[in-house]
Amino acid sequence: MNARSGTTWALLWVLLFCVTAALEHSVDAAPKRGEDPTTTAPMGRSPTMAGRGNGPRKRANIPSTVGVMHGPTRRGSAVYPKQDIPISFNHGQHLKIGMDCAQCHTDIDASRRASDNNFPRGKVCDSCHGAQHPKPASEPAKCKLCHTSVDDENRVTAGLRVPRPMLKFNHALHDKAGSDCEDCHGDMSQVRLATVLQLPAEQDCLTCHDGKGATDTCSACHPTQAGGKLKVRAIDDRSMPALVPKDDNSWGAAHDLAFVEDHAHISKANSALCQSCHEESFCTDCHAGVIRPMRIHSGDFVNTHALDARAQTSNCQSCHRTQSFCLGCHERLGFDREPGSAFAVGGSLSFHPDGWAGPPGMPQAHAHAAQRNMTACSSCHTEDSCLACHATAGGPVGGLGANPHGSRFRDSARCNALATRNRRVCLKCHAPGDPQLDCL
């Protein structure tokens, strides 16, 4: 190996070491529920993500491919559909004069389902604002005092539209346990008209449902299918969005744009969480199927994949077969040793430096590289490339007889172990009856 080639390889190894170190530094431990979301690690699904030296950066929302998977959906969340409340109301103003929640929401203490209509009835309002439901002939119409959709003849033209939430909730049970309205709905003294923003979020529920004071199983709040998996789509309304964990998710599993790459850490740390929604086939469709999602790799990955493959930042073989996918692509692009290729014997180009595979008995740089990462070799070479040198002259292929084993290999326990486990591997290089085939 000349000095120039040695310097080139030294620089390549330094670059590889730096890339590997940076990638290892970016993988931290999975966050626990309740940790500060601004300090969670990249695999912790929080609104921010470590910016690798540039400070926290905003995480993306759910992948754009979700719309393609589930079809068009209406606005709102999977749990709380979009509501239309054509009412003019000020919660803060009513609380300020000393009223409490139960004076208007009269049936709330007996409510046992999230689908119950717990909005105040017109007659409840009449107790303070005068008889309007129904309106006596002697009373002037005051419809516009509360209703925002009223025509010129004082007729209300739009009513409440509050679709059923995909949620299980028992007001009576929570009231019996001592919960206040503020525990779930927050401080209403600064709220005018209440919307879905005042309905409890997952973080609010998990304050009490921590597995100690109250159960923390997903099915305690989310409806389930017959098999026990969570319902991710409403059965009676397919236009509702799918239930996809996102944003500041307390379980650490927000399905954002980065989740397709780092979900492995979360699934290993808490596989039961994934199984709450997904069947095993959901995983195997990608990891063992024929068609993989196109968004696993970036658009220019064909130009940068060599770095990932060499550093083994991801297991290429979990999706690709090196002897068909990698080799086939490299051959089509001309990176092979077939006659006519620039990399063929006697060609103008060489991927490896001088002395990479020297005569038997000389230092062999390729041996160390093959032991470290045989996958890199197999992306261009087939088994025949190895047999051409390492097979014995009388073997099935016929090679140069270059011994790939160390000294006194036949006396070692490894020789016996390999021969006992799978002797057919030995017959790749040795002919049956070869004296060198037997261990001592």
Q: What are phi and psi of 280, to 5 degrees?
A: -65, -30
Q: Which residue has the higher pLDDT, 52 or 103?
A: 103
Quick: pLDDT tens for 179-215.
999 999 999 999 999 999 899 988 888 889 988 889 9
Reported as type and span, the H/E element at residue 3 is: helix 3-26
- Spatial CA neighbour of 200 closest among 179, 183, 218, 217: 183
Average pLDDT, integer, range 383-392: 85
Pairing of strands 57-58, 48-49: antiparallel
Beta-carbon contacts of residue 425 (< 8 Å; ≥ 6 apart): 418
Q: Could you tell me the pTM of the whole model? A: 0.55
In the chain, % of residues over pLDDT 70: 76
Q: What are phi and psi of 378, to 5 degrees?
A: -70, -10
Contacts 24+ apart (CB under 8 A), 95-98: 95/188, 95/189, 96/189
Quick: pLDDT tens for 395-432.
777 888 888 887 788 888 888 888 888 888 888 888 88
Q: Which residue has the higher pLDDT, 246 or 401?
A: 401
The dihedral over CA atoms of 116, 119, 124, 126, expressed in degrees to the nearest 10, equals: -140
Structure confidence at residue 56 as a pLDDT band (50, 70, 90)? very low
Let me know if 429 is exposed, middle or buried by CB neighbors in 10 A (0-12, 13-18, 19+). buried
Reported as type and span, the H/E element at residue 421 is: helix 413-421
Quick: pLDDT tens for 252-288.
788 877 787 778 888 888 888 888 888 888 888 777 7
Beta bridge partners of 224: 230
Neighbours of 79 (CB within 10 A): 20
DSSP letters of 153-220? Answer: TS-B----B-PPPS----HHHHHHTT--HHHHH--GGG-SS--GGGSPPHHHHHHH-SSSSS---GGG
Does residue 81 have a cis bond before it (omega within 30 degrees)? no
Identify each DSSP E strand in 42-130 by its residue range. 48-49, 57-58
Q: Are 45 and 266 in contact (CB under 8 A)?
A: yes
CA distance 257 to 263: 11
Q: Are 378 and 322 in contact (CB under 8 A)?
A: yes
Residue 2, pLDDT score: 52
CA distance 405 to 428: 14
| Cα three-residue angle 359-363-368, rounded to 5 degrees | 115
| Cα three-residue angle 263-278-80, rounded to 5 degrees | 95
CA distance 249 to 262: 15
DSSP letters of 266-310? Answer: HHHH-HHHHHTT--HHHHHHHHSSS---GGGS-TTHHHHHHHHHH
